Structure 1
């Protein structure tokens, strides 16, 4: 009875074909194949991605040398010396077309002799017109003016005209005073009593200065263009 209750003999395990402690060999092989496939798929995808990169990126990666690359040489102090940047021949920007320069012609500087301002300054200032040196004339009694005769200075003259009028003209020949006596053969007389009288052809007085009563008076043609009769320095009559 004791032998019947114990473990089954080895031939019984082989007859059933089941071993609950170990997996079968086909199952292990399948699991290994599946794992290899799972590992190979990412590698294949990474390789295809590397194949699709442009050549420029590959060249850039191949030519670049960074500090992250373990194979690159370590940096030294000379690598950090500042230098003037030089443009790369392959990456040089096209130069902008410059507008043609226009030559500016400077106006010729006028010579001092041709400058109008200096010419104007070079002209001498006009001198002030000097005052004329007018003269005077003194007529004493008794004096007579016949037709066509005159008492005159370099500024004025008193004329007995042929029309019988006694007129005073200035230096410009303009009449500035007249007795307004008209007729033939008149004459002007400066009398001893200081009176200036105009007589007609019949020797009758037709005009007078009414300055009588001043013995030894003088008739004076002055520089201011006036004809006056003075007595003792006082003016008793004036044109």
Structure 2
């Protein structure tokens, strides 16, 4: 299988996930409001300060991955939002890393969980 690649504008809400091609890496906004990456059903990364308030995760059009609370305030962000990052992609990779690539294909943020 291949890495799963998501365009800007992709969003999920509680109890939804973005999954790699093999289904063994899952970036989930949990029902309890936490935003967690799982590898083979084991947590390997989580967004700090999100639990228990995460309501939606959005890969914004400026290339910033954000988690919003119930009032649509940003409570966590990848800090990759910039005009030049419009058209970026979010990849949930088969190496168990989640990476944001700018429009030129250069990585600009990652969970650092590849193996």
TM-score by length of 1: 0.42
Q: 4+ runs of 1 displaced by more than 4 Å?
A: none
Q: Cα offset for 1:184?
A: 4.4
Asked if 1:188 is matched to 2:57, the reply is yes
Partner of 1:235: 107
RMSD of aligned Cα (Å): 1.2
Higher strand share: 2
Higher helix share: 1
Partner of 2:18: 151
Q: Which of the residues 209, 212, 216 maps onto 2:87?
A: 216
Question: Paired residues, what number?
Answer: 105
Which structure 1 residue ranges, 5 or more long, are not aligned?
1-133
Larger Rg: 1
TM-score by length of 2: 0.86
Answer 1 or 2: higher relative contact order, Cα 8 Å, separation at least 6: 2
In the TM superposition, what whole-angstrom CA distance separates every residue of 1:121-141 from its partner, at most 9, and x where no partner exists? xxxxxxxxxxxxx53100101
Describe the shift of the 1:207–1:185 C-alpha distance in structure 2 as closer, same or farther (beyond 3 A). closer
Which structure 2 residue ranges, 5 or more long, are not aligned?
none
Q: Which of the residues 78, 90, 97 maps onto 1:226?
A: 97
CA distance in 1, matches of 2:45, 2:74: 19
In the TM superposition, what whole-angstrom CA distance separates every residue of 1:154-193 from its partner, at most 9, and x where no partner exists? 220100012211100012x111110031124611000010
Q: Which of the residues 122, 129, 136 maps onto 2:3?
A: 136
